[in-house]
Amino acid sequence: MIHPCVMLVRNAIELTKRAIESVLAQDIDAVIRVINNDSHDGSEQFLATQLPRVTTQTFRPGLGVSAGWNTALADVFRTWDHCLVVNNDTELLPQTYRLLLEDGGGFVTAVGVNNIEQMKWDGVIRKRPNPDFSAYLIRREVWEKVGPFDESMVLYASDADYHVRMHQAGLEAYTISIPFYHYASGTLKTATETERMQINHQADKDRERFLEKWGVKVGSAGYYELFNGDKP
């Protein structure tokens, strides 16, 4: 059986290469649908060499994160009932996809670590109520109940928004303890100064949109009250 994965790419080609390698090395058969958001560092040419297990759709200008996820997931869920979504600045253990799938949850994630040494996992699965949107498994039933990501938040905050919406829909979203390496903010760190300023400006607008929608800031005490006072 083939299992789908979605990955958004905006430059950071060396990180993308490692991320793709780790997905294709999973101990279940995986294929990757890449949304290439206007990369200009050779990513498009590299991705073209990864057929047939990696297919790419390039957008100029880029779609952003929320619209990129929506575009890819809407397509995936026409065929499959589940999908692994990973950032292009992540590296997975070979059993990650299988274990997330075997957990059975509608929205279940691995846990990001920022040190490669922390990838030495003890094999014990522990569950905690704070999903990590850098490597998540989502099932079609969740997508159909909650709907797409809010594209009014272009790059940031739509993950927090989705978590709130899942909670309000009575759906549990959580992390299991299998680690993945996360070179956090890979796109931002590899961007030009101009691109970095544009990304940061959009991030501010996205956080303001979240505040406008929910009346609280992401990560604030009021935000946690949306989850009955418990940190998500």
pLDDT band for position 186 (50/70/90)? low
- The per-residue pLDDT of the chain, averaged, comes to 94
CA atoms of 16 and 95, how far apart (whole Å): 19
Q: Output the 3-class SS for 165-178.
A: HHHHCCCCEEEEEE
Listed range (29-43, 85-99, 173-187) with the worst mean pLDDT = 173-187
Confidence of residue 205 (pLDDT cuts 50, 70, 90): very high
The mean per-residue pLDDT over the stretch 89-93 comes to: 97
Instruction: State the pLDDT confidence band at 185, using cuts at 50, 70 and 90.
Output: low
Q: Which residues pair with 127 in a beta bridge?
A: 176
Residue 196: pLDDT band with limits 50, 70, 90: confident
Fold classified for 3-225: Spore Coat Polysaccharide Biosynthesis Protein SpsA; Chain A (3.90.550)
Label residue 201 by pLDDT band (50, 70, 90).
very high
Give the number of other CB atoms < 10 A from CB of residue 167: 18
Does 190 score more than 60 pLDDT?
yes
Query: With 80 as the cut, is the pLDDT of residue 188 above it?
Result: no
Region 30-52 average pLDDT: 96
- Bridge-partner residues for 83, per DSSP? 138
Looking at the predicted structure, is the pLDDT value of residue 116 above 90? Answer: no
In the chain, the percentage of residues whose pLDDT exceeds 90 is: 87
Query: pLDDT-based confidence at 48, cuts 50/70/90?
Result: very high
Name the packing angle between helices 158-168 and 193-214 (round to 10°). 30
Range with the lowest mean pLDDT among 97-106, 157-166, 221-230? 221-230
CB 60 within 8 A of CB 139: no
Overall average pLDDT of the 75-84 stretch = 98
Positive/negative CA dihedral, 70, 13, 18, 159:
negative
pLDDT at 15: 95
Taking the whole predicted model, whether its pTM rises above 0.85 is answered as: yes
User: pLDDT at position 84, please?
Assistant: 98
Check pLDDT > 90 for residue 142: yes
The letter for the amino acid at 86 is V
* Closest by CA position to 228, among listed 161, 164, 180: 164
Question: Rounded distance, CA 55 to CA 157, Å?
Answer: 27
